[in-house]
A and B are shown apart, each in its own frame.
Chain A
């Protein structure tokens, strides 16, 4: 990161935007003392001298607190303990007073949690809010929220926004990092855009419409945000009407109700619904990632048995999982090894690819998907999120599946890559691959899918296609229709 100016005013919510690898995280880490700066100075209100921030403790003393995407609290301690842990109040903690203080803060911030409750019994959103409450109580003047909303559902996001607005009124300056454009426009006052480790500019929210923001982030004017679909991207093979995969009364041990499902050759369909409605569980059941309890699955009209992922893979089904870090990447292994893994497993234990073959595959897909990596030997964990996702995608494409399941392939990655992935999905479908696409962002689904299965409370509640494919119709189906 080089030469970035950044100003945060009292009582303002300031969005920090940029693609993956633009330098957002680096900026935050310098502000909080995780990284040391090479040059430049940091000034705080009421100080006429540059602040010295060498460690997170220094930052905390100066009133700079950070709440990260992943909860960094201790789930097996109580809410109050989490709020006061390691705050240097010394031994002889007065537990009663601590709990009372904690309750007061929680109440003042309108957080529905009790001080004595064990943290792990709260929802993720509440845990996030407790983390914020902890920060606020530390006399914080600057609050940094790093992707706080990525694991929250719509309602929870609204609650969080309420809290942010409340803090803003109290004069706290908030730096808000997110990938969700909607959310930026909902709460922020100002936007600072970074690109390639450099400052692009600081803007008032009113002066920067969405399209322009995206253009600034990508560094080029973008005019195809709206429509990436066209007729050339529809599969026109003779077998276009054939059902590739079909499931009847499928139920897994992950707690979803039995459901029916089918997909045709060259079709792109999707599961939609709120977070936790059972979208992922459905596709996991199809792929054999969870244990199947009931039901029957057919592939190309023939009955098959899928009891574990390898069965599905042998039948030409590929699955890109929802959680890239936990289920997708093998962090310490190289990009090359990550790309060839699935095909290699399919090929068998005693038939490893030669190094040359592996490099050929890897280089081919690095080029095809424009994966930004130093080399095929770089460990995948050192790539940015979007590029990691491309590697996982490459892994499954290398298998040349008949049916590809993509569960949240665009989560947490930058807009440029998002669009690339969407385009790729349509292109693959036009070549005859069947794709199931799941995304939290409805407009993304609308742009890619020709049919949507709607889920509510772990049950399939409807199916939309053709003219019914509108934002409103989806919303009303999710919410429970006209009742």
Chain B
């Protein structure tokens, strides 16, 4: 009797979880209407004179993943809005298999284009073939996948390795006598962590004067980063660089330094490095409290728009793989640059 009851409960819970999952999917359109901001520069240029509404299926990671993702999702939703002549169907998940299911569904519904930022690099072959068979061009953005180039129309992606290299080059250019680095990593195995850790590790292995004081994952979490730095401070070890693989973790690290009265930033004892270029982080850099912030460009929408326009006109895409230009900023950053490259500060409509 009890077992049976448990079974019922479990299935109820499973349905509930499914419902919760569905709720997430439906959330996107409401978001869209909520942020019906005036068409920004992203894709409004031509105003789409044609009457035809282009349907795009957007598959992305969940916007709660990070500030980067929030900005990314938002920019896409704004670019492919009804005002710009698009109808967007969206699906957000951090799970590859859920993404694949959604993609299959979009293909069946007959969208005109499939835009994809996959959670995982593998497993997409058959889905892409289906899309090809249905005559639906696939455009990869943000992250590339392991598939033959013929299976997608274009790919507009970030080069995480390059991001790391740019940052490490900047750090090398500081010409310190000795580099004693606290290396705070993101979630182990993620593309961003691998790219950003790789470049630093290479340099540390190559140079005698570069040392890692501690290397820990804070899993993109500011408080964990704070604990890690606190631990190094408590142990009294010397360090002069904090290399945090995103802005949140850099923020946590700085909080620990402030508590211990260790100066940081341009005239301070410790160099602070972050990634992602959140607007608030760039302001810290500008104010000299941080030293460096590496960009991870979430604004692929204009490029995608251009690719779609080209394809609609019946032309070939000039460059199949577009790697987004990504810079690193230090205290020389200007207000204009913050506006142009910073993410996350779109002031929400205030009523």
Contacts and interface: CB of A to CB of B under 8 A. Distances in A.
CB–CB under 8 A between A and B in the complex? yes
Interface of A: 75-76, 120
Top 4 nearest A-B pairs by Cβ distance? A76-B3, A76-B1, A120-B1, A75-B1
A76 B2 CA distance: 9
A183 B272 CA distance: 87
Interface string B1-34: 1011000000000000000000000000000000
Interface residues of B, number: 3
Contacts of B3: 76
A439 to B, nearest CB: 30
A120 B4 CA distance: 13
A76 B4 CA distance: 10
Majority-rule SS of A interface residues: loop
Contacts of B1: 75-76, 120
Nearest to A120: B1
Nearest to B2: A76
Contacts of A120: 1
A121 B4 CA distance: 15
Nearest to B3: A76
A120 B3 CA distance: 13
Contacts of A76: 1, 3-4
A76 B3 CA distance: 9
A326 to B, nearest CB: 15
Contacts, number: 5
Nearest to A75: B1
A76 to B, nearest CB: 7
A347 to B, nearest CB: 36
A115 B214 CA distance: 68
Nearest to B4: A76
B5 to A, nearest CB: 11
5 contacts: A75-B1, A76-B1, A76-B3, A76-B4, A120-B1
A121 to B, nearest CB: 11
Contacts of A75: 1
A76 B1 CA distance: 7
A434 B4 CA distance: 45
A76 B5 CA distance: 12
A242 to B, nearest CB: 47
A75 B4 CA distance: 12
B261 to A, nearest CB: 48
B141 to A, nearest CB: 54
A75 B1 CA distance: 8
A76 B7 CA distance: 14
A105 to B, nearest CB: 26
A235 B4 CA distance: 54
B118 to A, nearest CB: 46
A317 B335 CA distance: 79
Interface string B298-323: 00000000000000000000000000
B163 to A, nearest CB: 59
Contacts of B4: 76
A119 to B, nearest CB: 11
A214 B1 CA distance: 42
B2 to A, nearest CB: 9
A224 B1 CA distance: 48
A120 B1 CA distance: 9
B236 to A, nearest CB: 49
Interface string B61-72: 000000000000
B280 to A, nearest CB: 48
A120 to B, nearest CB: 7
B4 to A, nearest CB: 8
A60 to B, nearest CB: 27
A75 B3 CA distance: 11
Interface string B266-308: 0000000000000000000000000000000000000000000
A153 B3 CA distance: 29
A67 B3 CA distance: 24
A390 B137 CA distance: 82
A39 B276 CA distance: 76
A342 B4 CA distance: 35
A170 B267 CA distance: 100
A373 B1 CA distance: 37
A72 to B, nearest CB: 16
A216 to B, nearest CB: 44
Interface string B244-266: 00000000000000000000000
A127 B326 CA distance: 76
A120 B2 CA distance: 12
A453 B70 CA distance: 75
B211 to A, nearest CB: 57
B174 to A, nearest CB: 65
B153 to A, nearest CB: 57
A393 B310 CA distance: 89
A70 to B, nearest CB: 16
A157 to B, nearest CB: 26
B310 to A, nearest CB: 66
A49 B212 CA distance: 73
A81 to B, nearest CB: 15
A75 B2 CA distance: 10
A117 to B, nearest CB: 16
A97 B233 CA distance: 74
B192 to A, nearest CB: 51
Interface in B200-225: none
